[in-house]
Structure 1
């Protein structure tokens, strides 16, 4: 058996190099990293590789028959760092049972310190200690009260932590937010990336990475189709069931990819390059206008308002279908915010009762809050086990409490209801902020889990506190405590250097994972960076926010994937670009960010003028709408306007789950939809500057512009009436950070279903319906 998986193959064959103009450039791109490329045929018995033959030129004759390899190669417009290559492999004569085609990119002078990323599943090679063999494993005893605990992840695809021996991982393109593999080599100060398509005629492709036993070479492989021995589940593995196709004379397969090599001074450069390239091969996606944002908000708030309950524990809006209460993360003190924004006396009173319940029943002596309480009033623990009997709480939930409680106070004041603020709420916020500051001074981090009774960190070394600096920044301004802002700046600097610059990911915020990389800390940390930019005006936070936004983009579907045509998503022909992958353990995407409107991305767009940030939000919002249960578009078995958290492109839950909704509902996704409709404008425009961006499910066409006033034609092609929020400002005004209650001042334009309305928009934000 001929095996070339780790060998280095330079593009030296004259018949290939001279086949198409530009081949030399691709050779040079790989040579800069001691790399090369080769193409091989792989014959399988089941999922076991039996034989491998490598092309040495553009023809190959083996025991199966005679093969031909055709290269088409071209420069990429506007890029000197990349080449686009299309390979077509054809069986001219013979029969080839169970055979796949592999494209290997081999690199010598490899080092274990190289940062490896496959977006939405592998960060820093996932080269960390792994525990458990399933979903949400218990922590071992050595993780408690141990500041030196190593990052510990679930049983995910990963490169080995050991310095020698087998090391590799096998993925499908459907495990990723965009089919891509990349690495940054610190010694060479270079980055490398390859992007390919989801599938060929033989199905979804494979993305494999394998290091040799001595760790001095590494091969990145695209296979058509995916041929994994084991498929990754939610913290475990199961037989993939992958099958290679049988070939007959005349059969062929085409693999298209773009390969890039570029200078990079650190992991942030690789992340920013990914942000630039993520849609370069697939091209622009095409979001559908289905349901206006105002309609989604109305449906979502109706669901929430009808789920206010009285229990023995207290009064609150129900989280999903349980009568028990969960704070932060997916429900409590987040879903109350849009209800408060209704400015309705009844809902304002309900929100007050929930805030009373939270502050009186759930705050521990230390100032930290417990994360769970049963309807009977029993406080619950999180990540607890017999090894650690003390009641714990998620640091992430406490960060949410501080941030969202401060937003509630700001909103009440902005609405003119400052007199309704209970002093106990402000006292609770101050006590929580002080607890975070105290822990920062004591430990130099916020940890992953804490003990609310004592304030001690029970589990260290994650990014679970990513949103805490945002809460501290708001509290520092509100309560006039500048020392809290200094703590926020110090903590944000620490997390940026440790987690982004050194590790290349954030981790550990979700309550059902270990310290796996996750999207929720990534977006939460962006919230903190933009909060610091707002309150300090220092450009360093904006520059770091650009890097963080790139990391966030790596968790977000960059293209509209193809689902099985017989699946529910396939039948609905959903455009799922913008779905946000959860974590490297929970291998599915979701309709939105848990739990946020991503208005910080909008703030970043305003501050930089870079439309990629606006497009990222629009993709997220539109993917969310694709998952909402509407007449003729059924996604749950609940109410119209409800939604669920699972958009499953991978086979992590079995091949039968691909493209099928789980027919439940999740309150956080509904809250997320309301927040996006509320905190993002439907239209953003800078009259007289030629800047216009539409987030809502309508079209806006400029039909005239004069002296800083633009005339727009708004068209609503959906089946639902729309009330479109319009934000207009001057370029100069856009330089000023946007506050947390700016949405209260955006005028709304009614556009009936199927109707067209013309409006005039002035720089001062005034809107006139013509």
Structure 2
């Protein structure tokens, strides 16, 4: 399969590059001027296929292609984008005015001369830095080679994903459908020219999903970005492998026509962060605003999900804990071990409080190694579970990500105990375990200048270096520094954040490697996790330079979230439910699917960034994520998703054909604790309604509608409507704009008042200048 891919990549590259930038083509004048800044040109063509093999390509040199058998007509329409002189909207209407054409697609190609392999290439949720990295394996979660262990110089290594060639002197082609991307977009940044390029397009035409292709020649001095209608890929990318796509170009008859629409941006950019932030600002500009559905109030989601979690508390030979998986084994962090206990503690009742305490006892007594680092899990019978390791090594290893989660959530649990008035329940063993873990991270940083990807819990040695697996460790260290009054840990938190920001975000435009089932692949969890850390540093220092970094990181996070509501097959489960899935979060460049939420977090740091900056796009992103999560919740009889427990969710929202065409839009009939956990956390740590009283601004995150009715002096009268089928208790957070400039603590939600509103009803809420609820 791989050898066939190599042959095909070379053939397609030659076919697409045969028309060089110097050839006379149909060129809209304004777009031509923009593209010239990047040594680029635009070309329209018809493409004939035999199966999925490209057998012929005809370029529109003017507005018509005429052969012995048919006549094609091209009509171009170019429009400037209001307030964006660097952007153009282009529509190419192509009609077969005479004859017939079998198995033919149409396309537009952007050929860039004077290309440089150092250009940063990004397709949201699919390609980061061209995926131009060492690759291993030919399938899901490949085994690491021996030379990757205990090697400080191990290169960033990914699974077998679509990618540009890491080898010099080699041609390469990336073939995708629009459904392989969180936004139908292709982007690049040129360090030499200090310019950025973004092209946005529609998901599909009447022929199905569009294709997006990036082809680089062997000399790596020319590259073509192409959109086709429809997608005709030789091979479709899977979970770390490829399979025959089964794509088919349509047969045309006389009079058939198609409109290919897209928007291009060419703009000044000094670095990769400039490209990322520009992308976040325009990612919905072409597909238009999405329309989240209000279907499940946060309070009802909490009731359903905490009921599941409560019924999944077990006492087994290993100890007592809430199950983080569908079996009785325990996995720390990552998939909600010692995370799902946090919302249970927040219920603030004696039964669950005692259970949470029992789980913390179990974790610190059974899982911590001699070095202070924790093992990644344990079986119900008490046998330690090991994370990825080479069979050539006998030393047990654990994920750095799991240890970072352990530090963060140990600290958050203890802070919540105190905020609820139960600080006396905090045991010295919990605090000592947290201290030892923070000290282990500090030692690793001072010794190696990074946290690594895998660690040996007994010795504390880094077993696998590189990646952004320690993204959340910075947040844990910042919290621990404040809690235990250890200033050195805050300094290490700052140093590590600056290191990962510079090495991974600024220089590579990606974060990755913190999941146990991928290599060092770019992924969403590390992006959101690092966002957590940057906002933690702002929280504890008040230094707004961390906000500036957080804005860039939020932009990187946005590349992982669906920015529009994809069209799913009408007969698929998602299609039948008519779910609005904008906000579903893609997993990684290996695991090519979206999921209901961030693993495992509320994303409250996005709300905190919105609060600190007033920039609504951060509120918009977290609102989308929360509403997409609700769309995946199993609520019989009318909203069946998992076919499992009422209130359950599962991790697969599948817009792509990475698992085969039959999987598109279909849920898997199971449940995942982590997706239920992030739902509970969003319901807990995000306000339902946020109000700035002096600015009279209202932002809604819950599944209700709210609008200002009147401004009674210093008071606000707000009308709230609950359009759902469930009664709601809506958390209200109101403050003045000046108060929003003070960082928001981790347990602020404990003090948010609740506003009760029945299903289908409209009520009024009076808010005082101090943020209190005065009357209902």
Instruction: With the length of structure 1 as denominator, give the TM-score of the two structures.
Output: 0.98
Please report how far the alpha carbon of residue 12 of structure 1 lies from its aligned counterpart in structure 2 after TM superposition. Answer: 5.3
Contact in 1 for aligned 2:125/2:560 (Cα 8 Å): yes
Contact 1:688/1:707 (8 A) holds in 2: no
- SS in structure 2 at match of 1:209: strand
1:498 to 2:503 alignment: yes
Which residue is 1:534 aligned to? 539
> Which residue of structure 1 lines up, in the alignment, with residue 304 of structure 2?
299
Out of 624, 646, 665, the position equivalent to 1:659 is 665
Aligned residue number for residue 255 of structure 2: 250
Say whether the 8 Å CA contact 2:324–2:673 is kept in structure 1. yes
Match of 2:5 in 1: none
Query: Which sits farther off after the overlay, 722-731 or 160-169?
Result: 160-169
Structure 1 residue aligned with 2:753, among 747, 762, 766? 747
Q: Which residue of 1 aligns with 2:243?
A: 238
Q: Say whether 1:715 aligns with 2:721.
A: yes
- Is 1:103 matched with 2:115? no
Aligned partner of 1:202 in structure 2 is: 207
| Structure 1 residue 323, shift from structure 2 partner | 0.4
Q: 1:415 corresponds to which residue?
A: 420
Residue 712 (structure 2) aligned to one of 706, 712, 719: 706
CA–CA separation in structure 2 for the residues paired with 1:92 and 1:216: 38
Aligned with 1:684: secondary structure? strand
* Residue 767 of structure 2 corresponds to residue 761 of structure 1: yes
What is the SS of the residue equivalent to 1:347? helix
1:400 to 2:412 alignment: no
Aligned-pair CA distance for 1:62: 2.4
TM-score, normalised by the number of residues in structure 2: 0.97
The 5 A counterparts of 1:450-489 are 450-489=455-494
The answer to whether the 8 Å contact 1:588/1:650 transfers is: yes
- 1:380 shift after superposition: 1.3
Q: Distance in 2 between matches of 1:476 and 1:449?
A: 24
Residue in structure 1 matching 2:639, options 610, 614, 633: 633
Q: Aligned equivalents of 1:617 and 1:60: distance in 2?
A: 48
Conserved? CA contact 1:11–1:37, under 8 Å: no
Q: Secondary structure in 1 aligned to 2:394?
A: coil
Q: What 5-or-longer segments of structure 2 have no aligned partner?
A: 1-10
Where does residue 363 of structure 1 map in the other structure? 368
String of CA shifts for 1:537-576, please: whole Å, max 9, x gaps: 1111000000000000000000000000000000000000
Q: Deviations over 1:162-185 (max 9, x none)?
A: 111221110000000010000000
2:433 to 428, 434, 443: 428
> Does residue 1:347 correspond to 2:359, yes or no?
no
Could you tell me how far 1:63 is from its partner in structure 2?
Answer: 4.3
Mapping of residues 123-202 of structure 1, within 5 Å: 123-202=128-207
1:390 to partner: Cα distance: 1.8
The Cα shift of 1:331 comes to 1.6
Output the CA distance in 1 between the equivalents of 2:775 and 2:696: 20
Pairwise CA distance, 1:378: 0.5
Structure 2 Cα separation of the partners of residues 349 and 269 of structure 1 = 49
Q: CA deviation at 1:60?
A: 0.7
Alignment partner for residue 337 of structure 2, among 328, 332, 336? 332
CA distance in 2, matches of 1:205, 1:690: 43
CA distance in 1, matches of 2:754, 2:67: 69
Q: CA deviation at 1:736?
A: 0.3
Deviation digits for residues 178-208 of structure 1 (CA, Å, limit 9, x no counterpart): 1000000000000001000000111001000
C-alpha distance in structure 2 between counterparts of 1:10 and 1:357, whole Å: 69
Q: Which residue of structure 2 aligns with residue 20 of structure 1?
A: none
How many residue pairs are counted as aligned between the two chains? Answer: 763
Match of 1:66 among 71, 93, 97: 71
Q: Which moved more, 1:61-70 or 1:396-405?
A: 61-70
8 A Cα contact 1:394 1:511, kept in partner = yes
Structure 1 residue 509 corresponds to structure 2 residue 514: yes
Q: Specify the alignment match of 2:20 in structure 1.
A: 8
SS of 2:433's partner is helix
* Structure 2 CA distance for aligned equivalents of residues 723 and 768 of structure 1: 16
For 1:729-749, what per-residue CA distance to the aligned partner results, in whole angstroms no more than 9, with x for missing partners? 001100000000000011001
Q: Deviation per CA, 1:695-731, whole angstroms, max 9, x where unpaired?
A: 0101001100133321111111111000000000001
Q: Distance in 2 between matches of 1:737 and 1:6?
A: 56
Poorly superposed stretches of 4+, deviation over 6 Å: none
Q: CA deviation at 1:763?
A: 3.0
Partner Cα separation in structure 2 for residue 330 and residue 373 of structure 1? 14
2:317 is equivalent to residue 312 of structure 1 = yes
RMSD: 1.1
Give the whole-Å Cα distance in 2 for the aligned partners of 1:55 and 1:118: 27
What is the match of residue 673 of structure 1?
A: 679
